[in-house]
Amino acid sequence: MEYSKIQSLYKRDGIEFDENGKFKSKSKDVNPLKIGDYSEPEFGNIRNWQVDEKIDGTNIRIIFKKDENGNDILLIKGRTEKSSIPKELLLFLHSKFTIELLSKAFRTPENSPDYVILFGEGYGGKIQKGSNYRKDYGFCMFDIFVSGWWLKKEDIEAIGKQLDIEVAPTLGIMKEEEILEFVKSHPKSKIAQKEYEMEGIVARPFPPMNFRNNKPIKFKLRCGDFPKPST
């Protein structure tokens, strides 16, 4: 199972800003946002959103399941089956995740699901602008799918604590206008080990809701889509 692409909150119109926050000419490659013109109609009907920090990295799936013989196996994959994972990050992930570790969390007398997928962002090092977060590599979990069920954020955080895994920082419950103001302020990252501007946010309805195809409703907003506040 691949993680579905997260849409931006709004559609785009072809205007962009330069690094100083000034308007640039229209571009076919970069399309900033048309505020109020939702990329998915459902977005306009939701009042409260749970907001997390968006990490600039590479999508990772940690898959824990049984093979055809009933033995537990662990697979580490990128966002798609064809995605490659940087060697240094892959070594880190193999050192961090083991069958024994995940068995303690998900194989209990009360519950033993057929499969579990931990979705997260591999970041740091040479991934994107990873050195702005940390010089070494890390894994920040943002979702867990257990035998057909998406876990709630509080459950994700509890499992993250149990496994000693970072979880995408929660920024609070906000309304759309509050999210806009927050992103426009170009806030600092909560997860970076030094002062660094947040990549953006990912928001999901509070309480959680799904599209008709059963994929979770969520959107993203990037700080880079808005001009920097004048100083």
* Lowest-pLDDT choice from 21-25, 54-58, 216-220: 21-25
Residue-level pLDDT at 111: 77
Task: Show Cβ contacts of residue 229 under 8 Å, excluding neighbours closer than 6 positions.
Answer: 21, 184, 185, 186
pTM of the model: 0.89
Please check the confidence at residue 228 and state whether its pLDDT lies above 80: yes
Tokens at residue 57, please? 């990295």
Superfamily of chain region 58-167 = DNA ligase/mRNA capping enzyme (3.30.470.30)
Tell me the pLDDT of the chain averaged across its residues.
90
Average pLDDT over residues 33-58: 95
Residue-level pLDDT at 33: 86
Residue 96 pLDDT grade (very low, low, confident, very high; cuts 50, 70, 90): very high
Residue-level pLDDT at 198: 96
Strand 219-222's sheet: what is its strand order?
A: 7-8, 219-222, 200-205, 49-54, 170-174
Average pLDDT over residues 41-46: 95
Tell which phi-psi region holds residue 6, choosing left (phi > 0), alpha (psi between -120 and 50) or beta: beta
* Lowest-pLDDT choice from 27-36, 129-138, 146-155, 178-187: 27-36
174: which strand partners?
49
- Is the separation of the CB atoms in 33 and 11 below 8 Å? yes
Residue 19 pLDDT grade (very low, low, confident, very high; cuts 50, 70, 90): low
Angle at 100 between CA 97 and CA 105, to 5 degrees: 85
Residue 56 pLDDT grade (very low, low, confident, very high; cuts 50, 70, 90): very high
CATH class held by domain 8-54+170-225 = alpha beta
pLDDT digits over 176-188, tens only?
999 999 999 999 9
Residue 109 pLDDT grade (very low, low, confident, very high; cuts 50, 70, 90): confident
Please check the confidence at residue 31 and state whether its pLDDT lies above 80: no
pLDDT digits over 114-125, tens only?
899 999 999 999
Task: Tell me how far CA of residue 129 lies from CA of 55, 57, 185, 198, in angstroms.
Answer: 10, 8, 20, 11
Element (H, E) at 184: helix 176-184
- Is the separation of the CB atoms in 106 and 64 below 8 Å? yes
Task: Show Cβ contacts of residue 5 under 8 Å, excluding neighbours closer than 6 positions.
Answer: none
- Could you tell me the maximum CA-CA distance found in the chain, to the nearest angstrom? 63
| Segments making up each domain of the chain, as ranges | 8-54+170-225, 58-167
**Residue positions counted in the chain:** 231
- Is the separation of the CB atoms in 124 and 138 below 8 Å? yes
Residue-level pLDDT at 201: 98
Residue-level pLDDT at 20: 60
Residue-level pLDDT at 110: 77
Please check the confidence at residue 160 and state whether its pLDDT lies above 70: yes
